[in-house]
Structure 1
Amino acid sequence: MTAPTPPPQVEPYIEIIGHDAALDLVKAFGGVRVYVPKDPPADSPVVKAIGMAAAVRLAAALGGESPRIPVARAWLVQHYASLQWPVPRIARELRIADFSVRRILERQGGRQVDERQTSLF
């Protein structure tokens, strides 16, 4: 499975702070507003989630604002599935039910198949 295309709501964050930091930001704050300090201190929740370098880049673009961070759950599930993580591990990482992970993967056409398991048909 190839890396999933990020949803349009996440793309601006990827452009500002990079793919990995955007993943961390969405995972930490998805669905809520988060204050982005103009000069992020080391103990800022944003710095703790994405690191100082990414927080400084985010502050340069959005400092002083409180953007609502997108949930992007399907993108996160697809990302971890593209890393060949098993469904239970994805569910634990994202704190969602395993059936939710399977449903997202099936809807996106990225249903995970264990290569060790033989086909029944």
Structure 2
Amino acid sequence: MSEDNVGELMTALGDDGFFALVEAHAGVRLYVPEDLARSELPKAIGFENAARLSKLYPCGYIKVPLARPFRALRYREAGMSNRDIARRLGLTESGVEKLLKRARTANPGRGGKPKDPRQLELL
């Protein structure tokens, strides 16, 4: 599986399931068992997500993408700083800025910091 199949995994698992998968196994070749009871996969990504993967790739290997743009957007939306995102993704802060800029262009309306509930609306 290559980075080209990100869409296929996102369709199968949804945003949250895909995020759980890449958080747990990004960049590695992962065996997808048919029998989930004898696997650690459900603990890492949840039973429903593991079952979906098992249906798609029974007894097969997948290469889990790094999905850095997707992860960077999720981290930013969770309120993380560029510094923290850089540490998580193994990038420089300027690399994170470039990555977020490209990711926002590809996904308009995503990647903003959450509003601080203490902030007052003036207008």
Verify same fold: TM over 0.5: yes
Give 1:23 deviation, angstroms.
0.9
Give 1:65 deviation, angstroms.
0.6
Query: TM-score, with normalisation over the residues of structure 2?
Result: 0.68
Q: Which amino acid aligns with 2:31?
A: Y
| 1:50 and 2:45 correspond | yes
- Structure 2 unpaired stretches of 5+: 106-110, 116-123
User: Equivalent residue for 1:90?
Assistant: 85
| 1:72 and 2:72 correspond | no
**Paired-residue identity, %:** 29
Specify the SS of the correspondent of 1:66: strand
In 1, Cα distance between equivalents of 2:102 and 2:48: 36
In 2, Cα distance between equivalents of 1:105 and 1:14: 19
Q: Which amino acid aligns with 2:62?
A: P
User: Equivalent residue for 2:57?
Assistant: 62
User: Equivalent residue for 2:28?
Assistant: 32
In 2, Cα distance between equivalents of 1:41 and 1:102: 42
In 2, Cα distance between equivalents of 1:107 and 1:16: 24
- Structure 1 unpaired stretches of 5+: 1-6, 116-121
In 2, Cα distance between equivalents of 1:22 and 1:29: 10
Q: Between the two structures, name the one with larger relative contact order (CA 8 Å, sep ≥ 6).
A: 1
Normalized per residue, the structure richer in helix is 2
Spell out, residue by residue over 1:7-33, the C-alpha distance to the aligned partner (whole angstroms, 9 max, x if none).
852221122222101011122222221
Q: Which residue, 5, 8, 12 being the options, matches 1:12?
A: 8
Cα separation, partners in 2 of 1:86 and 1:40, compared to 1, 3 Å = same
Q: Which amino acid aligns with 1:88?
A: R
User: Equivalent residue for 1:119?
Assistant: none
Q: Is the 8 A contact 1:42 1:48 kept in 2?
A: no
- The alignment of Structure 1 onto Structure 2 pairs a total of residues equal to 107
